[in-house]
Amino acid sequence: MWLLGRLVRKSGNRPHDVYSCYRLTILMALWLGIVPYYVTVSAGGRGKLASSYIGYVNILMRMAVYMGNSFYGAINRSSLMSNFFLTDISNVIDGLQKINGMLGISAILLISLLNRRDLLQLLAIFDGLETEAFPRVGVAMHQVAANRKMNRLVGILVGSMAAYITCSFLMIGLRDAATFSISSVISYFSPHFIVCAVSFLAGNIMIKLRIYLGALNEVLKNLAHQWDTRTLKAVAQKQRSLQCLDSFSMYTIVTKDPAEIIQESMEIHHLICEAAATANKYFTYQLLTIISIAFLIIVFDAYYVLETLLGKSKRESKFKTVEFVTFFSCQMILYLIAIISIVEGSNRAIKKSEKTGGIVHSLLNKTKSAEVKEKLQQFSMQLMHLKINFTAAGLFNIDRTLYFTISGALTTYLIILLQFTSNSPNNGYGNGSSCCETFSNMTNHTL
């Protein structure tokens, strides 16, 4: 976290707009190869995203290296897993992970490159909300608090990934009997970088969406509070500070008619929904790929750990049981953190948006003005037709229901794998499973 903070402070002053708030996030995403942009400052002091030729080259080079390395590893049959498992099942699993990683990483990099303009459009909507829409209803955004939350998420994900990879290298490298090649290391650890980058980029987009939805809800609550205390007057007065929250300040605007404030709130809500739809369009296939990679790795890591702890097979490994379990448990936790960061960010934004409807209907019950009531009814209809949700290519929703889905599928596959190991004639290793050998050969030929 200290190093990340130093990078941000060296690249500019404290964040003062949307783009400078995302400076570290975009910089790390550029380094990890999923974004071909960087944040720069115009002559007028406004931040903006600028194209980076290095970013384009980085993405294309990563795609070429990952694809070429996957084919090279398949031809030479080099694998990091050979230091841990020497069974037919482990060969099949390792082949599946290679295919999943190769296709997944290539898909994410290609989609990020093709949909790069959606990210520009998304941050442009954010900038319009903060510089034009929210000030009309008396809301001023604070960038420091939002920037702190974003940097914290980047620090957690990047830090946990770096710690896991460093400890893995030390554990494997210090073993004299352990063998590994650069090709096997790239094949095994490359998905970690991409999963980490997409996770913190998506999570930080959700942070801003939550802040905007929270500010909109506070504007409507403020209007209800004025009606409750009968202090709403249609006379020209100065704006006075009402409250200063963590991520924004809000002022009571008494020079505007309530119907006008509600109209402005409707426009803000429409822009937030447009931003959410743009974010979903940009991330939908990336999240599907990320969750698929993470689920596959979690299933197989859990299988390795349970099989070892339950003594289902005679493991031929160059590592002690504690080291073996720790290695795969930490990798499983790393991917669980990535899934949780994505799901929780999405779920909190959805829950914030659902609160808006209750506040609008509370206002509808309190108002006596026919004009205000008509505006609130229009707002209610808009809330029915414009809902915020995030999906993985439309196949499933990205919310807390995903935890239940993953848990059920994980349990099912673990039972199948453990039963398969128990029923194997040689208890999971050797030449006892011809189907595993056939599938392993098919996997290697495919790669």
The tens digit of pLDDT for each residue in 265-282 reads: 999 999 999 999 999 999
pLDDT in tens, 251-262: 655 556 888 889
DSSP letter string, 269-316? HHHHHHHHHHHHHHHHHHHHHHHHHHHHHHHHHHHHHHHHHHT-S---
Average pLDDT over residues 239-250: 54
pLDDT in tens, 85-127: 655 555 666 666 667 677 788 889 999 999 999 999 999 999 9
pLDDT in tens, 373-388: 899 999 999 999 999 9
Compute the 3-state secondary structure of the chain and give helix, strand, coil in percent, each to the nearest 5: 75, 5, 20
User: What type of residue is 269?
Assistant: H
* Residue 434 CB contacts under 8 Å (≥ 6 apart), including other chains: none
Residue tagged 């239940």 (tokens): 404
Report the distance separating Cα 356 and Cα 342, nearest Å. Answer: 23
Q: Where are the alpha helices (DSSP H) in 174-249?
A: 182-229
Lowest mean pLDDT among 40-54, 293-307, 426-440: 426-440
Which tokens belong to 446? Answer: 């495919």
Coil vs helix vs strand at 353: helix
The whole-number pLDDT of residue 443 equals: 43
The whole-number pLDDT of residue 440 equals: 46
Query: What's the chain's average pLDDT?
Result: 80
pTM score, whole prediction: 0.84
User: What type of residue is 161?
Assistant: M
**151 closest CA partner among 23, 46, 279:** 23
* Residue 319 CB contacts under 8 Å (≥ 6 apart), including other chains: 83, 84, 171, 175, 178, 327
The whole-number pLDDT of residue 315 equals: 53
204 pLDDT above the threshold of 60: yes
Please count the residues of the chain.
447
Report the distance separating Cα 17 and Cα 135, nearest Å. Answer: 14
264 pLDDT above the threshold of 70: yes
Percent of the chain with pLDDT over 90: 39
Give backbone dihedrals phi and psi of 433, rounded to 5 degrees, phi first.
-125, 95
Residue 47 pairs with which residues in a beta bridge? 41
Q: What is the number of alpha carbons within 13 Å of residue 274 lying toward its C-beta?
A: 14
Angle at 380 between CA 281 and CA 263, to 5 degrees: 85
Average pLDDT over residues 320-324: 74
Average pLDDT over residues 197-217: 94
The whole-number pLDDT of residue 228 equals: 64
pLDDT in tens, 160-174: 988 888 887 777 766
Lowest mean pLDDT among 112-116, 143-147, 235-239: 235-239
The whole-number pLDDT of residue 278 equals: 96
* Residue 373 CB contacts under 8 Å (≥ 6 apart), including other chains: 364, 367
118 alpha carbon, distance to own chain's centre: 16
Report the distance separating Cα 162 and Cα 80, nearest Å. Answer: 18
The whole-number pLDDT of residue 126 equals: 95
User: Do the Cβ atoms of 29 and 156 come closer than 8 Å?
Assistant: no
**147 closest CA partner among 6, 37, 247:** 247
Report the distance separating Cα 409 and Cα 299, nearest Å. Answer: 9
Domain edges within the chain: 65-226+257-423
